[in-house]
Amino acid sequence: MKVILTDQALGDLIAIGRYIQQDNPARAVTFIAELEEKCVQIGRAPQAFPLIPGREASGIRRRVYSNYLIFYRVRDNTVDVLHVLNGAMDYEPILFPDA
């Protein structure tokens, strides 16, 4: 299944990379590559990861990798990666700003 990173997800990856780069530039590059690979892997089995508890109707699923959450939605033959956020963040206002 095709995987598309939204502009928001790409922005998240850039911000994560810049944050890690402050302490370890080499690790920033490898970690962002790992996150990107985890996003691509979702396309192989998109239903394998759970819907957000309490928000099942949104169709948004999440995959955990390290301290980060990859949020995505499946439509037709495409996986749209919506955001990649630190697991310590309150993601509800970001994913559901009108709630």
- pTM of the predicted model, to two decimals? 0.95
pLDDT tens string 6-49: 999 999 999 999 999 999 999 999 999 999 999 999 999 999 99
State which fold the 2-95 domain adopts.
Answer: YaeB-like fold (3.30.2310)
Structure tokens at 86: 């630190």
Mean pLDDT of the chain: 96
Is the distance from CB of 88 to CB of 11 less than 8 angstroms?
no
Kindly tell me the number of DSSP H helices and DSSP E strands found in the chain.
Answer: 3, 4
Cβ atoms within 10 Å, residue 37: 10
Q: Decide the pairing of beta strands 60-65 and 68-75.
A: antiparallel
Residue-range domain boundaries for the chain: 2-95
